[in-house]
């Protein structure tokens, strides 16, 4: 009987990373894929991105509805409660042999808690990482403690998962999954991309994604205004925005962003570009700006510059192509000037991505098929 592998995905970001692992499981005759979609995937505000999963040829076995756009802390907590209830019911119906989750979002924390009490073993991808500017930091490490298999992106992250008390025999160094998406996708040409976007690139172009830093004392609205203040002074520059994730404060950021785009002919915002257009955009623009993990884990593979604003990603391993700056207009302007400097552009040719050169998806699929699950639920704390 084939092993049933159930993936839980909550939005465009984790699906983009999981995509090729899911494809590998689907294509393997010794494995049976199951999919649970929740969170932003089911929200009209974020583009109903579950449709992208289906367009890629996957069948969604269960949809777990939570609050579509939680703006307050209490709404995030309510979403977590809904996720625990909904995922518990779904896995009780599907009866998977193993649940696969990725990352650090509150929906995934709730999912893993549901699996724990349902005695379903969990494989966690991209654990051991640090992002001290968001409460995702705590969720990620908590997910690690509730999981049984760990697929990590770097040696440093592997050491950190073991430091959390996980058995080294169950911690596997596979590399970053974002690199696989870059290698596997047939990226669009500039002309094809412009046709799909309905937007023509100017002489210069930038891709911007800015999420709320959920642990910052400073209001995310203020930080967004500082960022837009810096961008508004640019000339002959196309600005392509992707919407922030569904976090506390995201709705107010979207309102500010919509107003900016409506009054700037060189700017356009997209609810969700999808993995193909997002990666194609990175290939065509001069650099990316914001505080998304993608700027650190994927963009360096393109040898493009990243302006990492604020401390949302503080603690992640970084390539030399990353420029860090405070979320102030003057510092962001200085960072943009550096991004376009001849010296920085020359150094980009030597950039190496610390998250590897690809192949993580194949390694994970092989391990999902071969690793023993006997007695894995009851795990002792591993002391160093």
7 pLDDT above the threshold of 90: yes
Per-residue pLDDT tens for 79-119? 999 999 999 999 999 999 999 999 999 999 999 999 999 99
d(C-alpha 111, C-alpha 35), whole Å: 13
Local confidence band at 274 (pLDDT 50, 70, 90 cut-offs): confident
pLDDT given for residue 217 in this prediction: 64
Give the 3-state secondary structure of residue 246: coil
Per-residue pLDDT tens for 15-25? 999 999 999 99
Share of the chain above pLDDT 70, in %: 98
pLDDT given for residue 296 in this prediction: 95
pLDDT given for residue 213 in this prediction: 72
DSSP class of residue 337 equals: H
Local confidence band at 271 (pLDDT 50, 70, 90 cut-offs): confident
Q: Is 344 exposed, middle or buried (CB count within 10 Å of its CB: 0-12, 13-18, 19+)?
A: middle
Local confidence band at 73 (pLDDT 50, 70, 90 cut-offs): confident
Per-residue pLDDT tens for 184-211? 999 999 999 999 999 899 999 999 999 8
253 pLDDT above the threshold of 90: no
pLDDT given for residue 216 in this prediction: 62
* Superfamily for the 3-175+359-370 domain: Glycogen Phosphorylase B; (3.40.50.2000)
* Superfamily for the 188-348 domain: Glycogen Phosphorylase B; (3.40.50.2000)
Q: The tokens of 48 are what? A: 């109903």
A 10 A CB-CB count for 65 gives 14
pLDDT given for residue 113 in this prediction: 97
> Average pLDDT in the 243-252 region?
78
Give the 3-state secondary structure of residue 375: coil
pTM value is 0.90
| Domain ranges across the chain | 3-175+359-370, 188-348
pLDDT given for residue 72 in this prediction: 78
Local confidence band at 331 (pLDDT 50, 70, 90 cut-offs): very high
Average model confidence (pLDDT) across the chain: 93
Residue keyed to tokens 């992640």: 316
CA distances 22 to 2, 133, 235, 323, 330, Å, are: 15, 30, 42, 33, 43
Under 8 Å CB-to-CB from 279, ≥6 apart: which residues? 181, 182, 185, 187, 298
pLDDT given for residue 302 in this prediction: 96
Same fold, 3-175+359-370 and 188-348: yes
**b/e map 293-303, b = 16+ CB within 10 Å:** bbbbbbbbbbb
> Average pLDDT in the 256-261 region?
91
Local confidence band at 214 (pLDDT 50, 70, 90 cut-offs): low
A 10 A CB-CB count for 292 gives 25
DSSP class of residue 374 equals: T
**Which of 117, 166, 159 has the alpha carbon at shortest distance from 144?**
166
């Amino acid at each position: 009987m084939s092993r049933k592998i159930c993936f839980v995905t909550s939005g465009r970001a984790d699906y983009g990373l999981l995509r090729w692992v899911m494809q590998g499981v689907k294509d393997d005759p010794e494995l049976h894929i199951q999919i649970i979609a929740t969170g932003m995937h089911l929200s009209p505000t974020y583009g109903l991105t579950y449709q992208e999963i289906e367009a890629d040829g996957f069948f969604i076995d269960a949809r777990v509805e939570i609050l579509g756009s939680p703006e307050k802390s209490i709404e995030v907590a309510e979403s977590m409660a809904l996720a625990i209830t909904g995922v518990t019911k779904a896995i009780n119906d599907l009866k998977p042999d193993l649940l696969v989750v990725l990352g650090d979002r509150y929906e995934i924390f709730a999912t893993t808690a549901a699996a724990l009490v349902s005695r379903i073993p969990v494989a966690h991808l991209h654990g051991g990482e640090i992002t001290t500017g968001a409460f995702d930091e705590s969720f990620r490490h908590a997910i690690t403690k509730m999981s049984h298999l760990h697929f990590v992106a770097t040696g440093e992250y592997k050491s950190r998962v073991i430091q959390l008390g996980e058995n080294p025999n169950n911690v596997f160094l596979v590399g970053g999954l974002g690199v696989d998406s870059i290698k596997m996708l047939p990226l669009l040409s500039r002309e094809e991309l412009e046709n799909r976007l309905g937007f023509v690139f100017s002489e210069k172009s930038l891709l911007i994604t800015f999420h709320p830093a959920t642990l910052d004392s400073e209001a995310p609205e203020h930080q967004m205004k500082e960022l837009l203040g810096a961008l508004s002074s640019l000339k002959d520059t196309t600005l392509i925005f992707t919407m922030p994730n569904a976090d506390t404060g995201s709705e107010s950021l979207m309102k500010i962003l919509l107003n900016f785009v409506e009054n700037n002919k060189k700017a356009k915002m997209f609810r969700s570009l999808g993995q193909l257009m997002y990666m194609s955009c990175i290939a065509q623009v001069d650099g990316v700006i914001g505080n998304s993990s993608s700027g650190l884990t994927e963009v360096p593979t393109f040898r493009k510059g990243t302006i990492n604003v604020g401390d949302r990603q503080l603690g992640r391993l970084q390539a030399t192509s990353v420029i860090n700056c405070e979320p102030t207009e003057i510092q962001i302007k200085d960072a943009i000037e550096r991004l376009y400097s001849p010296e920085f552009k020359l150094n980009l040719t030597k950039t190496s991505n610390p998250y590897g050169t690809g192949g993580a998806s194949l390694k994970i699929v092989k391990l999902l098929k071969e690793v023993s699950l006997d007695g894995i639920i009851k795990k002792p704390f591993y002391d160093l």
